[in-house]
Chain A
Amino acid sequence: MSAFSAVRIPFPAVVAARSAGEKPSSHFLCSPAAAPGIHSSPLRSPRLGHPPLAVSSDVLSSQKPLGSNSSPSYQAVISRDEALELYEDMVLGRFFEDMCAQMYYRGKMFGFVHLYNGQEAVSTGFIKLLETRDSVVSTYRDHVHALSKGVPARAVMAELFGKATGCCRGQGGSMHMFSEPHNLLGGFAFIGEGIPVATGAAFSSKYRYEVLKQAKPDGLDVTVAFFGDGTCNNGQFFECLNMAQLWKLPIVFVVENNLWAIGMSHVRATSDPEIWKKGPAFGMPGVHVDGMDVLKVREVAMEAIARARNGEGPTVVECETYRFRGHSLADPDELRNADEKSHYAARDPIVGLKKYVLEKNLASESELKATEKKIDDIIEEAVEFADSSPLPPRSQLLENVFADPKGFGIGPDGKYRCEDPKFTEGTAQV
C-alpha cells in the first residue's frame, strides 16, 4: 500500500456554491454564442446565452464531506402506488443480487460478476420514470438496470447461468445485458465505452425527429447513461459531455459515485472530486444528489428527464452512493475501512424508503412484507428456470456474428465455413 492511500484529501470548501440559489458566473461560456452557427440547424442550435445551472440537492450542506444523515425533506409527494413500485423494484434488485452471490459461489455462474447492492436507489429512481421507448446504457454492473427497465428476472438469471433462455441466449453474460424490446443497449465492460454509445442513441433520437421527420408525440426518446466515478476521469466522458451539449442531445449522464473505482478511492483519483461540477463546465446543468435516497434521486431525475425530453439538452447527475459488496465477487474488498462501510450500511436505501413509507402511512408493514415475499418467489422461480433451462446448442456457436445472414455456419463437411456467405448481393457479376 502506498503512503498516499492513507491520505484523505478533504473536500474544498465550495459547499456554498452548490446551493440551488447560486449560479456560477460564467461569462466565458457565452463567448462561443457570439459567433452564431453559420448553418443553423435543429441539431446545431446556437448556444443559449443563459448561464448554466449548477444546482445541488441540499444533502451535502452538512459538514460531513462525503455523505449526510440529514433527514429528507421532499418537495414532490409520492403516491402509495408509486411508493410500492419503487420499493418492489429496489427489493427486486437487492434480492436478485444476493441470489447471484449465492449462485456464483455455488458455481452456477462464472467470470466477473459485479453486484449492485447498496446502489438500488439510483437505478430505481431513474429507470422507473422512463418509458419503454427510452434507452438505458449501462456498465459491467448492469443486472439491476436491466431489471428496473423491465427485463424479466428469469431472462437475466438465465443469461448469468449461460443458458439459451437468457436475454442474450447466453452469448452476452453478466457484463453484457442487452434487450432490444426494452431498449436496454448493454452492458459495456470497458470504462467509458458506454458513454459515446449512449450519446449516439440520443443522437439517433434527435435525428429521427429532426431529419427523418418521425413524430414525437410526447417529446424526444430519452437515453440515460449510467457509469461510475472512475469513468469520470476518462476522456470519453469529456468528449461526450461536449458533443451532447453542443448538439443538445436528449441524454442524462448519471454518475453512480460509489466512491471507489475497484480499490482506488475517488478522492485519490480525481483532482476535483465533485463530479457534478463538470456539467456547468460544458454548459449544462450539473446536479449532486444523495444516491442513497430514492425519493431525492427521483426528484432530480424527473427534472433531468423532462429537460431531455423537451429538447433542452443533457444533464449531469452525480448520485453519491455506495456499494455494499466488493467491486466484483472476486474482489477481497480490503481497502475500504469498516467505519466507512458501516456509515453507509446505516443509510441503506431500502431501509430508508421503508421507514418513509411507514412514517407517511403509505403502506403497512405487512404490505411491504407481502412485496418482499412476492420478490422472493420471483427470484426462486428465476433460479429454477435458469437452472432447468438448456445450454446453448452447439449450432448456436457461429450464429449472430453478423446480422445477415445468421453467421457463417458450419459447412456440410463439418468444417468452419468462410466462403462468400452472400452478405450483400450486388448487381454486378464478377
Chain B
Amino acid sequence: MLGVARRKLGFGLLSTTRVLPAGSVLPKKYSTAAKEITVREALNSALDEEMSADPKVFLMGEEVGEYQGAYKISKGLLEKYGPDRVLDTPITEAGFTGIGVGAAYYGLRPVVEFMTFNFSMQAIDHIINSAAKSNYMSAGQISVPIVFRGPNGAAAGVGAQHSQCYAAWYAHVPGLKVLSPYSSEDARGLLKAAIRDPDPVVFLENELLYGESFPVSAEVLDSSFCLPIGKAKIEREGKHVTITAFSKMVGYALQAAEILSKEGISAEVINLRSIRPLDRATINASVRKTNRLVTVEEGFPQHGVGAEICMSVMEESFEYLDAPVERIAGADVPMPYAANLERMAVPQVDDIVRAAKRACYRSVPMAAAA
C-alpha cells in the first residue's frame, strides 16, 4: 500500500507540468540505414502518434496509466496526454469495455487494453453484441470505431486460463476485424490502421514478442505510416511449399523455412497479418504457385484459422494442390502448466519442418516424427 502511494506521488510530481502532444516518441531523425525497434516500441509509438494526431483517441484499461501498462506498452502516455485520455479503470472488464463501446457510438475512438486477451472473456458480450453487431442492427446509423488490444496466445508458464489464442474466436464474428501483428513493422502499421478504422478491431498482440527487435525502414518510422487491413505479407518467397502463419508463429515458420532450404525445399512464408478479413487472394496465389500448403497457428485445431484457410484453398484452388493440406495447431487440450508439457502443446519449428516435408513427399525419419 505504501509502495503504491509512493509511486503515485512520484508521478504526481512529474505530471504537474503536463507535456503537450508533440509528435512521436521515436527519434525524429533517422538514417536511411535499417534501424531496429522492439514490438513494444512500435506499439507505444503508434499509440502515441495516433493520440497526438486525433484528440478523439483515448486509451483505457487496467494499469494503463500510472503503472505505465502491465507490459509497458502505454509507457509515458499518461504524462503526455493526462488522465482524461489515459484512463486507469477498475478491474471491471464488462463495465469498462461497454463504456468504451458506448463512447465509440458517439464518434470517440477508444483504445481498450485488455491486460491479456484471456480477460476479454469477461467482456466478450460487449465486443460481439454491442460493438460488432451495432452497425448492422442500426442499418448503418451507429458505427463503432474502437480498438480492443492486448497480448493474446500462449505465454510462458502461466497455465490454462492465461494461455489461449482468440484469433479464431473473434474471426468468426461478422462486424469485427481481427489483426495479429508479428514484427515491429506490423505492430506499428496495423495498430495505426486499427485506430483510424471506422469499425471495431480486435488487435491480438503477443506477450513473448514485445521485447523482440526487428529492423524497420525509414518509411515505417514515418508518422504517416499505416498498413492496409485485409492484406497479408509474403515474408519469404519460395516455390515448393506455402506456409501460412500469424503472430509469433511467423517467426517459427521463417526458422523452418531456413532449415528446409538447407534440404533443398524452398518454402514461401505468408504472414497473415489480418485474420479477418482474410487475404484469400494472396494465399491462393501462393498455393497456385507452390501447389502445397502448411497452415500454422497456436490456437486449438478444431474450427481454427487453418481450417478456414484450408476451405478457402479447396474452394478456389483445389485443382492446383499436389498434396493434402497440412495443419499445424496447438494441442487440443487446455494449456498445461509443466514446461515440458507446455512445449508439446504449442507448435514448434520441428513440427513445421516435418509437415512441410510430408507435403513435399519427402521421407520423414521416424526419429524426427516422434
Contact = CB atoms under 8 A, between A and B. Distances in A.
A binds B: yes
Interface of A: 35, 38-39, 41-44, 137, 168-173, 176, 178-180, 185-190, 192-193, 195-205, 207-208, 210-212, 235-236, 239-240, 242-243, 246, 399-404, 406, 408, 418-428, 430
A185 B55 contact: no
A409 B58 CA distance: 32
B350 interface: no
A197 B94 contact: no
B121 interface: no
B97 A196 contact: yes
Interface stretch (B34-42, B128-136, B158-166, B256-264): B128-136
A198 B101 CA distance: 9
Nearest to B13: A38
A197 B135 CA distance: 14
Interface in B111-131: 125-126, 129-130
Contact of A428 (B84, B126, B225): B225
Ranked nearest first, the 5 interchain pairs of A and B with the lowest CB-CB distance are: A200-B102, A196-B98, A239-B95, A403-B143, A178-B138
B281 A419 contact: yes
B103 A168 contact: no
Contacts of A137: 102
A193 B98 CA distance: 8
A170 B82 CA distance: 43
B20 to A, nearest CB: 13
B199 A403 contact: yes
Given A204-B108, A423-B277, 20 more contacts: A38-B9, A168-B139, A171-B136, A171-B138, A185-B102, A190-B125, A196-B94, A197-B101, A203-B102, A236-B94, A400-B139, A402-B135, A404-B143, A420-B228, A421-B277, A422-B228, A423-B177, A423-B199, A423-B230, A428-B225
Q: Which of A187, A190, A240 has the most C-beta atoms of chain B within 10 angstroms of its own C-beta?
A: A240
Nearest to B281: A419
B105 interface: yes
A291 to B, nearest CB: 25
Contacts of B83: 39, 41, 43-44
Question: Looking at chain A's contact residues, is the secondary structure mostly helix, strand, loop, or mixed?
Answer: loop
B141 interface: yes
Nearest to A137: B102
A393 to B, nearest CB: 13
A419 B226 contact: no
Contacts of B277: 408, 418-421, 423
Contacts of B222: 427
Contact of A243 (B99, B198, B199): B99
A210 B220 CA distance: 33
B224 A420 contact: no
A423 B66 CA distance: 35
20 contacts: A38-B9, A38-B15, A171-B136, A172-B139, A173-B137, A178-B141, A179-B141, A186-B134, A193-B126, A196-B98, A196-B99, A196-B126, A401-B174, A403-B143, A419-B281, A423-B199, A423-B228, A423-B277, A424-B228, A426-B193
B234 to A, nearest CB: 8
B84 to A, nearest CB: 5
A402 to B, nearest CB: 5
B142 A178 contact: yes
Interface in B267-283: 277-281
Given A197-B130, A201-B105, A400 B95 contact: no
B175 A430 contact: no
Nearest to A187: B137
A236 B278 contact: no
A180 B219 CA distance: 40
A420 B281 contact: yes
B199 A236 contact: no
